[in-house]
Structure 1
Amino acid sequence: MSLTAVIFPGQGAQSKGMGRDLFDAYPEQVDQASALLGYSVRELCLDDPRRELNRTEFTQPALFVVGALAYRRWKDEGGTGAAFFAGHSLGEYCALHAAGAFDFETGLRLVRRRGELMAGAAGGGMVAVTGLDRDEVTDLLRQGGFGSLVVANDNSPEQCVVSGDAASIEALGEFLHERKVRWVRLRVSGAFHSELMRPAQQEFRRFLDGVALGSPATPVIANATAAPYPAGAVAGMLADHLVRSVRWTDTVRYLLDAGVTEFVELGGTVLTKLVERTRAAHRTPAVRAQGLGSAVFRERHGLRFAYVAGGMYRGVSSPELVIRLSRAGMLGFLGTGGLDPVEVERGVKEIQAAVGQDGPYGVNVIANHDDPAAEEELVDLLLRHHVRTIEASAFIQMTPALVRYRATGLRRGPDGAPICDHRVVAKVSRPEVAAAFLAPAPDAVLDRLRSSGAITAEQAELARRVPMSHDVIVEADSGGHTDGGIPTVLLPSMLELRRRAEAERGYDEPICMGLAGGIGTPAAVAAAFVLGADFVVTGSINQCTVEAATSDVVKDMLQDIDVQDTEYAPAGDMFELGSKVQVLRKGVFFPARGNKLHALYTHHDSLDDLPEKTRSLLERTYFRKPLDEVWADVVRHLRATGRAELAEQAARQPKQKMALVFRRYFGYSARIALEGRPDDKVNYQVHTGPALGSFNQWVRDTPHASWRHRHVDEVGLMLLDAAAAHLSRFAAR
């Protein structure tokens, strides 16, 4: 079946005399536009007496008027049956108007404000590069150390536009010239479609909040995602449009793969040439890294790739790690477990300074079963800094702090549907916990929060209409805390839970599920997506990268492990419950010693009940000091952290006292590993899983065999690209 796509060009398509055959045909619309703009759009386009047509604030309204009128004439002349609409940058507004998302006047108001804000951007620049595709240009940027520059427009397999600060753009020109790469500096003052447009994006978002926008009646392919606009997403995507890349090549590929055979360009001719170049290079549809997983998930979090790096204990998932991922279009979570609030706040500020408050990033929140007040304090900090996404780990029930975070981010949209400004990405390994996150917050918790004034009545009402998490990470056997689940059993079961929850609740927004645990090779990534995962989550492999905030000694140890070099040990934070973590076994005694301590706790009632020989062994090799001194350290720590009552209670309960003393070993063993203390390597506690061993095998005999050549974003891209190639080969067979 033949399908038609109607497409609209953007800035750069303007020319003196454009629209001449349209203005007389539609005088009412021309007069309406001129009245709204405060100047004659006819005079601007046909005569340009003040040489304003090439100024952004005038170009964009003019192009919108011409595009909208061109579409009206196309329909009047019998043009019907458009299966898709798309537009390049500013042209996307024409596409949305044609698809019924907003009327002519609303569209003109939008582009006028957009043009004003973009015209006000300064200090940036853009360079068009020809003869290379996006991946080749991206590689050149990496080679040249141009980390602040981005591919802003991917126009065809042979043309890209790079955007960024003016100094780096100038240096890039020299770099390209030396390599005989064809390029031209564009006549713009701003770094459009880059992070430097973030202030304009935030101002435009506030403007959009006051505009009533609908959803397209016909699919519109978004520049930012190269996929159709989801329902209710127009405002958010138009705001993000200013800072995100124009993926025109992928847009054309999407349309070709969807069966489009005819492209009708209205309002210009520049896109037709780009379409033909992409069509000429298009063969049997290949799987691409950017197309893996769920477009909904990518759009929801402002990502290029459905790829997530989970938060790791004590800040191993460092600000630097999260920033690298964010800039690559991936989602990383800052590790907070074991850190004090000052360290967490410092990390959040560092990330926000680098990627913006609304950039793709998140912060890990671990359930604090011992100290709920600390959990509340962390949530207060995140709310104070307007952190929009958290990763909820180790929760077995919905705590007041977690519910408060979710509910305070809810507001009512123009159509009455809940808009979620706070995202809780839940990490689960048990069906009953998954079910709790797939359901709305418990009524009892919402009622208490409402009564205390922590949330409003409207937030409480909206919280009953959304799940606690629209994004759920299904965690199979992994490094760190694990229930040892099998991914091929666990994920299908969780997907069925999701199906039931969506069917029963009728949520306005779809739920996405990702897979974590064992993700260390391209085949594992591909298998996750084949199983139905909307995104993949890596953990252990990220601990062995340049950006991971652990010691070089640990990284040296980890880069050489194989799949059999890990073991299960008790989790220090849930010692009494017998919960397990997966840790490094090769070269250390920690797994054996951790399990020994738990066995002693199970079989003895107090420290005084321990055999003298055993007690002496613990003091000499585990703690390196008398147990009485260890207990004194515990008491000082509890008092310093406002938990003196717990110390007093444990002093009266010998079993609890023993648990607190034994827990001290787990804190010590984690700390010395992070510090890389050379005098006690045998006691290192290093959370990791066999996925790292499989990754080490994959990169053996390559430069990435050394962790010093592993950057977290490059590792993600390597895995995704190779997984896409793996799936393409499989499909071809």
Structure 2
Amino acid sequence: MARMMTYVFPGQGAQRKGMGGELFDEFAELTSQADEILGYSIKTLCLEDPQSHLNQTQYTQPALYTVNALTYYHKIVESGRTPNYTAGHSLGEYNALLAAGVFDFRTGLLLVQKRGELMSRAEGGAMAAIIGLSERQLMEALSENRLDRIDIANLNSPAQIVISGPKAEIDRARHLFDGMKEVKSVVPLRTSGAFHSRYMKEAAEEFGDFLHAFDFEEPVLPVIANTTARPYRYEEIRKNLRDQITGSVKWSESIRYLLGRGEMEFEEIGGGRILTGLIQQIRTEAGPLVTEEERVGMKPADAGGTASYASAGVITVPAAPVVSRAPLIERLAVDEPSPAGLGTQTPAWIRIKPANLGSPEFRRDYGLTYAYISGAMYKGIASKEMVVRMGKAGMMGFFGAGGLKMQQIEEAIRFIQGELLPGQAYGMNLVHEPAEPHIEESMVDLFLRTGVKVVEAAAFMTITPALVKYRAKGLKRDENGKVTSTNKIIAKLSRPEVAEAFLSPAPERITAKLLEEGKITREEASLLAEIAVADDLCAEADSGGHTDGAVAYALMPAILKLRDEMMEKHRYAKKVRVGAAGGIGTPDAALAAFSLGADFIVTGSINQCTVEANTSPEVKDLLEQMNVQDTEYAPAGDMFEMGAKVQVLKKGLFFPARANKLYDLYRQYNAVEDIDEKTKIQLQDKYFKRSLQQVYDEVRSYHPPHIIEKAERNPKIKMALIFKWYFAYSTRLALSGNPENKVDYQIQCGPALGAFNQWVKGTELESWRNRHVDEIALRLMNETAELLNRRYQSFVQAAANE
């Protein structure tokens, strides 16, 4: 039974001098940002409160919001865990929305600053907590004593309710409730106004106008709204924030709703135990509220077209019609009356949400909301902007570092790290360089120096010293004696023998050599023997770029079986997860991957035809028109001599035919001089647009001397260098969008994009100019979940009709 987690954030009343402590220094950039917005030192206010402002509403609310936010970021960094739900009491709801990605830290602080300012203007009002009466008893007492100018502000627990209204009316009510034997206590609250009541209408209306200046994002986690005690709907974000000022905080019902989702843990974020105590009371006095799961409406088409979700905690379906190697969803068995015709006591059908697809452990380890990754595309086509958008949306993107200079890669790393908040995931691509292993090592040194914690190891055929070095750094034992890794490797592969290498401990010869060279410590060498080289694998079927043309239905079961065997053989303490890549461009394909047992999915080709992809508009125009049959296999320029293949776009292009012709010539001849004169003229006039000597002169200008020396001694190597120039040339043409030599564009791409184009035909996503990588991902995951819901229901109905 999967246990879920809700982070809860306290509101006004939780403030105290000294709150925040070292967090202000830990998150100095955010602290500075807060100071700039507020016009005073938030650190000084919270830690010292020299002017006794901390309990004044206009200061209290920004202070609590900031401390709650910094505590949350610290928690994410420390634990790496993303909650299933968030909720906040009154002001705390802004932190719950922040955690769900509805707005960034700066926007939230601007909203809270304005909210506090408006609410601080309220005068003549008062509030009091009545402890001991139920809501019904309290309402009856108010009605009988004609205290109809009093509103219920907070329903904190079944027997703790806060009332709000004019000060004279609250004083009358206090005397009334003080005299009732059922009432345990009456506690006046230190507020300047009648918050959460009709008397805040003017403030609410002005705040509503203020909200129109802001754009909000779809919640990536379900956020329970104070006013409804149900998850936020995207289209109601502004309305909820406005109505919260005048409406009741339905905290008791909110917690009961969450308890009704399943086995739920709660953690109070921001310091103090106020909400923790209330939650315990609610558990004891009322218990779960079991309701029919609600599907939240779609985001309006003009705002992006993705859906929001009622809940990330799923009530389970019965034995699911999927492979059981990896959980398709988190499960919790519940028996309720079933739909008509399906019997009287079968497990209830509750809708599966996108956040439940794949492995919860994988999501937790990488701090993700969704088990979804955008894979790397070389030469920075998988751009830094793409990586940032994915990280902010609760997913992970890999930057396409292959083929770039170290300075370009470092600049991308710094940009990504500067844009993403602590706990938001990202990774860098590490491509195998069999001919130039020093490039791999330089890349790893850069990653270690800049604090890159996740790499996608691609095109590796064997384990290399650079991989082992990266793996070794950051290894340690936890308090239970298990080896844990700071630096994580997700290996993308398509052959079982390569998977076996990554599922094994690092080769002893490599470990010994690194130790001898002083590149790893003796302790690191010892720890390497207890873990696999990779934390996780990605089984890549037929795809764009480097590919073995594997079939997913054959590859995934083989890799999963091998993983299970290697886990048993080596007795690893932590499970190696297996994801799926290749051919994933529609909900049907994503569902097939998860059904095969994928712990996560990786998309590639569909992301190349987005606004964020760092390739030319001319390339994107071609990709937008392609169909599933419009690709071809061609030699891989970086592994030309080995015969490795990449899949590329062929529609309207000569590159695939010309690249294959070059490889045929390389296999047929031992030197350029051996090629017949007619063919050489064709190469110079049609392929290279310059003489063979000019090509070689250019090659000599950028290859290191030892490579050129080999070429001068061996004409076969020289011929390979000349032919490989065409692959770099064709890539440059495509990236720059050179209009004169369009037929020579090298565009690595798989048929998944053709399927995607057909799926979105006739929608706003038909044009690549409307495609954003994160919005595509969210739509794909949402519709995959919907497809699974429909398929499962059809299976159940079919079985019932047998």
Give the TM-score, by structure 1 length. Answer: 0.69
- Which one of 683, 690, 696 corresponds to residue 757 of structure 2? 696
Flag the 1:227–1:538 CA change in 2: closer, same or farther, 3 A: farther
Given the alignment, which residue of 219, 224, 228 partners 1:155? Answer: 224
Q: Give the whole-Å Cα distance in 1 for the aligned partners of 2:220 and 2:582.
A: 32
After TM superposition, list the pairs within 5 Å mapping 1:619-698 onto structure 2.
619-638=684-703, 643-698=704-759
CA RMSD in angstroms, aligned pairs only: 4.2
Which residue in the other structure is 1:11 paired with?
Answer: 10
Q: Supply the distance in 2 between the matched residues of 1:9 and 1:389 (Cα, whole angstroms).
A: 29
Say if 2:293 and 2:351, in contact at 8 Å, map to a contact too.
no
Could you tell me whether the CA contact under 8 Å between 1:352 and 1:359 is conserved in 2? no
Q: 1:637 to 1:7 in 2, by over 3 A?
A: closer
Q: Is structure 2 residue 552 aligned with structure 1 residue 553?
A: no
Q: Secondary structure at the match of 1:424?
A: strand
Equivalences for 1:72-111 in 2 at 5 Å? Answer: none
1:569 matched to which residue of 2?
634
Mark the runs of 5 or more structure 1 residues left unpaired by the alignment. 17-49, 61-84, 92-119, 129-141, 163-171, 187-221, 230-236, 249-263
Query: Any conservation in 1 of the 2:7–2:87 contact (CA below 8 Å)?
Result: no
Corresponding residue for 2:503? 438
Corresponding residue for residue 280 of structure 2: 267
- In structure 2, the CA distance between the partners of 1:272 and 1:732, relative to structure 1 (3 Å rule), is farther
> Would you say the 8 A contact 1:366–1:392 is kept in 2?
yes
Q: Give the superposition deviation at 1:160.
A: 7.7
- Answer whether contact 1:13 1:270 (CA < 8 A) is retained: no
Residue of 447, 463, 481 corresponding to 1:398: 463
Distance 1:384 1:185 in 2: 52
Aligned to 2:596: 531
2:776 maps to amino acid: V
- Aligned position for 1:351: 416
Q: Of 189, 214, 238, which residue of structure 2 is paired with 1:176? A: 238
Letter in 2 for 1:295: P
Are residues 1:331 and 2:396 paired?
yes
Of 276, 280, 299, which residue of structure 1 is paired with 2:289? 276
Structure 1 residue 155: deviation in Å?
A: 1.7
Of 403, 407, 417, the residue aligned with 1:342 is: 407
Match of 1:600, as an amino acid?
A: L
* 1:706 matched to 2:719: no
1:301 maps onto 2:363 in alignment: no
From 520, 525, 532, the equivalent of 1:460 is: 525
Contact 2:367 2:423 in 1 (8 A): no
Number of residue equivalences: 559
Does 2:109 match 1:124? Answer: yes
Q: Which residue of 2 aligns with 1:600?
A: 665
Could you say if the C-alpha distance between residues 185 and 523 of structure 1 is closer, same or farther in structure 2, counting changes exceeding 3 Å?
Answer: farther
The equivalent of 1:31 in structure 2 is none
1:86-115 deviations in Å (ceiling 9; x for gaps): 997799xxxxxxxxxxxxxxxxxxxxxxxx
Counterpart code for 1:11 = P
1:524-570 deviations in Å (ceiling 9; x for gaps): 00011111000111000000001000000000000110000000000
Residue by residue, what CA displacement relative to the aligned partner does 1:220-265 show, whole Å, maximum 9, x if unpaired?
Answer: xx99x99889xxxxxxx999x789xxxx9xxxxxxxxxxxxxxx97
Which residue matches 2:609? Answer: 544
* Residues 515, 525 of structure 2: 8 Å contact kept: yes
Q: Do the aligned residues in 2 keep the contact of 1:322 with 1:331 (CA within 8 Å)?
A: yes
1:259-280 CA distance string (max 9 Å, x none) = xxxxx97534499999538557
Contact 1:569 / 1:583 at 8 angstroms: preserved in 2?
yes
Secondary structure at 1:575 match in 2: helix
Deviation at 1:359, TM superposition (A): 2.6
SS in 2 for 1:421: coil
Structure 1 counterpart SS, 2:369: coil
Computing the radius of gyration over CA atoms, which structure comes out larger, 1 or 2?
A: 2
Correspondence for 1:583 = 648
Distance 1:605 1:285, change over 3 A: same
Match of 1:490, SS? helix
Deviation at 1:449, TM superposition (A): 1.3
1:415 CA displacement: 1.9
The aligned residue for residue 788 of structure 2 is 727
In the alignment, the residues of structure 1 paired with residue 782 and residue 85 of structure 2 have an alpha-carbon distance, to the nearest angstrom, of 27
Structure-2 change in CA distance of 1:404 and 1:356 (3 Å) = farther
Q: CA deviation at 1:153?
A: 6.6
- 1:387-439 deviation digits (Å, cap 9, x = unpaired): 00000001111111111001102112122211211000000100000001111
Q: Which residue of 1 aligns with 2:676?
A: 611
Q: Deviations over 1:170-210 (max 9, x none)?
A: xx999926x99634499xxxxxxxxxxxxxxxxxxxxxxxx
> In 2 relative to 1, CA 459–184 (structure 1 residues): closer, same or farther, beyond 3 Å?
farther
Shift in alpha-carbon separation, 1:461–1:612, aligned structure 2, 3 A: same
| Corresponding residue of 2:483 | 418
Say which SS state the counterpart of residue 515 (structure 1) adopts. Answer: strand
TM-score, normalising length from structure 2? 0.63
Larger CA deviation: 445-454 vs 645-654: 445-454
Letter in 2 for 1:564: Q
Q: Give the alignment of 1:490-501 within 5 angstroms.
A: 490-501=555-566
The change in CA–CA distance for 1:615 and 1:183 in structure 2 (over 3 A counts) is farther
**In the superposition, relative to structure 1, how do residues 650 and 487 fare at CA in structure 2: closer, same or farther (>3 Å)?**
same
Stretch of structure 1 that moved more, 144-153 or 298-307: 144-153
Q: CA deviation at 1:9?
A: 6.9
- CA distance in structure 1 between the aligned counterparts of 2:686 and 2:358, rounded to whole angstroms: 48
Pairwise CA distance, 1:11: 2.5
Provide the secondary structure at the position in 2 that maps to 1:267.
helix
Identify if the C-alpha distance between structure 1 residues 632 and 298 changes in structure 2 by more than 3 Å, giving closer, same or farther: same
* 2:299 alignment partner in structure 1: none
1:124 is matched by which residue type in structure 2? Answer: L
% identity of equivalent residues = 41
Whole-Å Cα distance in 1 between the matches of residues 220 and 671 of structure 2? 63
Change (3 A) 1:601 1:657: same
Q: Return closer, same or farther for 1:354/1:238 CA change in 2, 3 Å cut-off.
A: farther
Q: Aligned-pair distance for 1:496?
A: 0.1
User: Unaligned regions of 5+ residues in structure 2, if any?
Assistant: 16-54, 69-82, 90-104, 116-210, 248-257, 295-314, 316-347, 795-802
1:117 matched residue in structure 2? none
| Secondary structure, aligned partner of 2:779 | helix
Change (3 A) 1:9 1:565: closer
Distance in 1, matches of 2:763 and 2:235, equals: 32
Q: Which amino acid aligns with 1:276?
A: L
| Aligned counterparts of 1:728 and 1:123: Cα–Cα separation in 2 | 35
Evaluate the alpha carbon distance shift between residue 291 and residue 653 of structure 1 in structure 2; reply closer, same or farther with a 3 A threshold: same
Deviations 1:507-526 (A, max 9, x none): 11111100001001000000
1:355-370 alignment to 2 at 5 Å? 355-356=420-421, 358-370=423-435
Distance 1:375 1:497 in 2: 27
Shift of 1:356: 3.8
Cα 1:657–1:333 shift into 2, 3 Å: same
Deviation at 1:357, TM superposition (A): 6.0
Q: 1:290 — aligned with what?
A: 355
Q: Aligned letter for 2:10?
A: Q
In structure 1, what is the Cα distance between the partners aligned to 2:514 and 2:550?
A: 35
- How far residue 448 of structure 1 moved from its aligned partner, in angstroms, is 1.4
Look up the equivalent residue of 1:672 and give its one-letter code: L
Instruction: Decide whether the 8 Å contact of 1:7 with 1:265 is kept in 2.
Output: no
* Whole-angstrom distance in 2 between the partners of 1:446 and 1:309: 31
Residues 606-641 of structure 1 deviation map (CA, whole Å, 9 limit, x = unaligned): 010011110011001111100001001111111xxx
Once the two structures are superposed, residues 355-377 of structure 1 have per-residue CA deviations (whole angstroms, 9 ceiling, x without a partner) of: 14653000000011111111111
Aligned equivalents of 1:522 and 1:613: distance in 2? 50
User: What's the offset of the Cα at 1:124?
Assistant: 2.7
